[in-house]
Amino acid sequence: MSDIRCVNLCRTFHQGDITVTGLDHVSIDIKKGEFVCLVAPSGGGKTTLLNAIGGLDKPDSGEVWIAGKRIDNMGKSALAEMRLNNIGFVFQAYNLIPVLTARENIEFVMEVQGIPAADRHRRSAAILTEVGLEGLEDRRPAKMSGGQQQRVAVARAIVAKPEIVLADEPTANLDSSSAEQLMDLFVSLNKNHNTTFVIATHDQRVMEYARRIVKMLDGRIDQDIPQDPR
Amino acid sequence: MIAIIFRLAWRNLWRNNRRTLIMLVTIAVGIWAMIFMTALMRGMVNKMVRDAVKVLPGHVQIHHPDYLDDPNIVNSIEEHPDGILLQVLNGPDIVAWSSRVRVAAIISSARESRSITLLGVDPATESEVSFVAGKIVQGSFLNDGDDDGIIVGRKLTETLETGLGKRIVIMSQDPDNEIVDRGFRITGVFDANTEALEEGYVFTGVTAAQNFLGIPGRVHEVAIVGRGFRQIDGMYQAVKNAAGPNFSVLPWTELNSYLGTMLGVMDGFVLVWFMVVFLALSFGLVNTLVMAIFERVREIGLMLALGVKPMIILAQIIVESVCLLFFGALTGNLVAWLTIRPLQDGIDLSSYAEGLEMFGYSTILYPEMTVEDVFTANVVVLSLGIIASLFPAIRASRYQPVEALIKV
Ligand SMILES: Nc1ncnc2c1ncn2[C@@H]1O[C@H](COP(=O)(O)OP(=O)(O)OP(=O)(O)O)[C@@H](O)[C@H]1O
Ligand SMILES: [Mg+2]
């Protein structure tokens, strides 16, 4: 069964008189446990597609199915519930809540889910070590570097063990060794928990880990190639 | 969930310390202004009413049904009520009552004469219902109902060019419209707040007055004092029912309808004042919240994107405003208490308001902070404040996550 299924998605944006194409008849099936990289030049439609999959944006036409449920016509509240419990997000920009510390940001989704404090602390402590942020748990985002903030965002996305992780440029701002560490983490999560990953990236280092590369151009899927991960 | 709502609300409040402090001060000043001004106004009106009721005197009065329209000596009633009426008068809701002879008369000294109201009173009960017994500045008050000494106001002794121990003549009419007159000796001089009282009223013993006027056992009014001038309804009804149709029983609000109306207007005015202060305050509050939310559009978008329900965003903003309102109100109440307390002994206005005394108003103002007013002020600010902050809160909870996220 496919975990993510998009059928004929179209999305245009209107800026004054100009119409910009975000998605142009995009259809894609992603199976449970796949590790997919979305690759496209800037403006190619990566973020728009991730937003449609994550239920953050409504396509003008077409269907989006997540785990067998159609989500493009769901109500706000049901969508919020679906995102909270099924999807881990790493956004391209602005990922953290500024008034919360690194640990609180990581625990945020779990706290909203209602996971007990002790459980949360145990899991956030483990993930803090895994993403190399020991000692920074009590810092607020403003006191962290871009790379550190990015790792907090990634930690938050995966700490609740969602079915699907949607990550938009997760390695931007990361040096190669941190990027490698992060990708290893993704891969192990993908292997051990069968988590589905969809990662939008320009980063060659990231693409090497993917088992399927989807290339987009001007809002269309240009190429869809399976590959052997390194 | 609740914990995270409160944590976010609290931290967001202190994200811009200056703005939050300004808002807290605004709310505190607003609450203070409501309570303080109301205490002053209440003090003023209540004092006025109390003074006036003492002159009347009493919270409720019983008369002959025709007396108020025609205060003729013949429109009199029994001096000693009996039966159920007596039981009610001696009941727990009534603090004191007194029967009085009350007629128009002329008082003359060797040099001058003036028209006055002559009151025949029983000093034992009168001292509890009216002001005069406690205001004797020369001589002493009456000893008993048979006492035929006369008590006059200080101002009257001046206009009549007479004084303590001197004789004066009082002239009036008996029930047969015959002129009666008699010499009396001044045995006491009282000092009221107002010259009108000092010149207008003269007191003697009730029996002495009855004998003088030829109306043994008759009086013109029974003055009744209850537990407070605002809580008279129950007592008034009880007395009215007990007195039956042969008497006219009226509360002070009708005996002095000007003051009664004034008290009603005052209560309305307090509410208007509350609303005015609140409106000024709510503009500040809504403005602050709108600004605070505008700064946070992106993180609100982020939270929504992560799957936080719009209701939670709404709750968080409401909690923020409740915190502001609560701590602002707390400070305001405290400051109000601190500023009103030192004024409990009264604010002397005599140097600003010499004219007041002429109109029967006393010149010392005692602020009165009542539980009801403090409660109303707080309820107005808290409840309407929450309603006012619903507007920006609802707007924030309706953001589209993606649009909010990319906003800069
Ligand atoms: N909210 C929006 N309003 C108007 N145009 C938009 C909006 N979002 C996306 N677009 C346009 O849609 C197209 C696809 O944008 P999208 O953000 O999906 O590209 P992308 O592949 O993520 O690019 P990048 O690598 O720069 O992030 C672009 O031309 C972009 O300008
Ligand atoms: Mg993008």
A29 inside domain: yes
CA-nearest of B130, B66, B94, B139 to B238 is: B94
Question: Which CB contacts under 8 angstroms, 24+ apart, belong to B355-362?
Answer: B357/B193, B357/B194, B357/B195, B358/B194, B358/B195, B358/B196, B359/B194, B360/B48, B360/B51, B360/B52, B360/B55, B360/B193, B360/B194, B360/B196, B360/B197, B361/B47, B361/B48, B361/B51, B361/B193, B361/B194, B362/B47, B362/B48, B362/B51, B362/B193
Cα distance from N-terminal residue to C-terminal residue, chain A:
26
A64 inside domain: yes
User: Could you tell me the residue range of the domain that residue A204 belongs to?
Assistant: 2-95+162-226
- Amino acid identity, residue A120? R
Looking at the complex, report in whole angstroms how far the Cα of residue B330 sits from the nearest Cα belonging to chain A.
26
Q: What is the model's pLDDT at position B385?
A: 86
B296 C-alpha to ligand 1 centroid (Å): 22
Q: Which residue's CA is minimally distant from atom 26 of ligand 1?
A: A42
A86 inside domain: yes
ipTM higher than 0.85?
Answer: yes
pLDDT digits (tens, 9 = 90+) for B263-314: 788 888 888 888 888 888 888 888 888 888 888 888 899 999 999 999 999 9
Torsion angle in degrees (nearest 10) through CA of A28, A32, A33, A36: 10
A45 inside domain: yes
Question: Is the pLDDT reported for residue B184 higher than 90?
Answer: yes
Cβ of B305 within 8 Å of Cβ of A91? The answer is: yes
A115 inside domain: no
Query: Any idea which of A61-65, A173-177, A181-185, A204-208 has the lowest mean pLDDT?
Result: A173-177
Q: Which residue's CA is minimally distant from atom 4 of ligand 1?
A: A13
3-class secondary structure per residue, chain B: CHHHHHHHHHHHHCCCHHHHHHHHHHHHHHHHHHHHHHHHHHHHHHHHHHHHHHHCCCCEEEECCCCCCCCCCCCCEECCCCHHHHHHHCCCCCCEEEEEEEEEEEEECCCCEEEEEEEEECHHHHHHHCCHHHHEEEECCCCCCCCCCEEEEHHHHHHCCCCCCCEEEEEEECCCCCEEEEEEEEEEEECCCCHHHHHHEEEEEHHHHHHHHCCCCEECEEEEECCCCCCCHHHHHHHHHHHCCCCEEEEHHHHCHHHHHHHHHHHHHHHHHHHHHHHHHHHHHHHHHHHHHHCCHHHHHHHHHHCCCHHHHHHHHHHHHHHHHHHHHHHHHHHHHHHHHHHCCCEECCCCCHHHHHHCCCCEECCCCCHHHHHHHHHHHHHHHHHHHHHHHHHHHCCCHHHHHHCC
Q: What is the mean pLDDT of residues A86-115?
A: 92
From the CA of A201, the nearest ligand is 1
| B138 band by pLDDT with thresholds 50, 70 and 90 | very high
Listed by start position, the domains of chain B span 2-52+260-406, 58-255
- Give the highest mean pLDDT range of B261-270, B370-379, B398-407: B370-379
| B407 band by pLDDT with thresholds 50, 70 and 90 | low
Question: Is the pLDDT reported for residue A97 higher than 90?
Answer: yes
Ligand 1 neighbour A42 (Cβ under 6 A) = yes
Q: What angle do CA A99, A102, A103 make, to 5 degrees?
A: 110
Give the span between the Cα atoms of B261 and B255, in whole angstroms: 11
A103 inside domain: no
| A88 band by pLDDT with thresholds 50, 70 and 90 | very high
Q: Which residue's CA is minimally distant from atom 27 of ligand 1?
A: A42
Percent residues over pLDDT 90 in chain B? 40
Looking at the complex, report in whole angstroms how far the Cα of residue A12 sits from the nearest Cα belonging to chain B.
14
Q: Which two tokens stand for residue B219?
A: 């009086």
Q: Which residue's CA is minimally distant from atom 3 of ligand 1?
A: A13
pLDDT digits (tens, 9 = 90+) for B328-371: 999 999 999 999 888 877 777 666 655 555 555 556 778 888 88
Q: What is the model's pLDDT at position B354?
A: 57
pLDDT digits (tens, 9 = 90+) for A207-220: 999 999 999 999 99
Ligand 1 neighbour A132 (Cβ under 6 A) = no
Domain at A46, CATH number: 3.40.50.300
Minimum CA–CA partner of B1 in chain A: A112
List phi, psi (to 5°) of B186: -75, 115
Looking at the complex, report in whole angstroms how far the Cα of residue A95 sits from the nearest Cα belonging to chain B.
7
A2 C-alpha to ligand 2 centroid (Å): 24
Query: Any idea which of B27-36, B128-137, B240-249, B391-400 has the lowest mean pLDDT?
Result: B128-137
Note whether A63 and A127 are within 8 A (CB). no
A141 inside domain: no
Higher-scoring residue by pLDDT: B123, B408: B123
Looking at the complex, report in whole angstroms how far the Cα of residue A75 sits from the nearest Cα belonging to chain B.
11
Cβ of B405 within 8 Å of Cβ of A91? The answer is: yes
Ligand 1 neighbour A13 (Cβ under 6 A) = yes
Question: Is the pLDDT reported for residue B408 higher than 70?
Answer: no
Cβ of B299 within 8 Å of Cβ of A97? The answer is: yes
Give the span between the Cα atoms of A179 and A126, in whole angstroms: 19
Q: What angle do CA A49, A230, A180 make, to 5 degrees?
A: 75
Q: What is the mean pLDDT of residues A183-198?
A: 90
Q: What is the mean pLDDT of residues B164-170?
A: 93
* Location of structure tokens 């640990």: A103
Q: What is the model's pLDDT at position B283?
A: 85
Q: What is the model's pLDDT at position B361?
A: 54
Of ligand 1's atoms, which has the minimum distance to the CA of residue A50?
18
Note whether B397 and B311 are within 8 A (CB). yes
Chain B residues with CB under 8 Å of A112 CB are: 1, 4, 306-308, 312
Q: What is the mean pLDDT of residues B221-228?
A: 89
- Amino acid identity, residue B51? D
Q: What is the model's pLDDT at position B150?
A: 95
Give the span between the Cα atoms of A166 and B305, in whole angstroms: 12
Q: What is the model's pLDDT at position B54?
A: 67
From the CA of B403, the nearest ligand is 1
Q: What is the model's pLDDT at position B355?
A: 57
Query: Any idea which of A58-62, B88-92, B233-237, B253-257 has the lowest mean pLDDT?
Result: B253-257
pTM for the model stands at 0.73
Q: What is the mean pLDDT of residues B14-22?
A: 89
Best interface-test mutation with B: which of A76, A105, A115 has the largest number of B CBs within 10 A? A76
Using DSSP bridges, classify how beta strands B150-153 and B179-190 pair: parallel, antiparallel or unpaired. Answer: parallel
A153 inside domain: no
Of ligand 1's atoms, which has the minimum distance to the CA of residue A38?
21
Which of A51, A89, A104 lies at the smallest CB-CB distance from B306? A89
Cα distance from N-terminal residue to C-terminal residue, chain B:
28
| B135 band by pLDDT with thresholds 50, 70 and 90 | confident
Q: What angle do CA A190, A64, A49 make, to 5 degrees?
A: 70
List phi, psi (to 5°) of B122: -95, 110
Best interface-test mutation with A: which of B20, B293, B302, B313 has the largest number of A CBs within 10 A? B302
Q: Residues of B numbered 266-305 whose beta carbons fall under 8 angstroms of chain A's beta carbons: which are they?
A: 298-299, 302-305
Question: Is the pLDDT reported for residue A146 higher than 60?
Answer: yes
In terms of phi and psi (left: phi > 0; alpha: psi -120 to 50; beta: otherwise), the region of A9 is beta
Question: Is the pLDDT reported for residue B24 higher than 60?
Answer: yes
Total domains present in chain A: 1
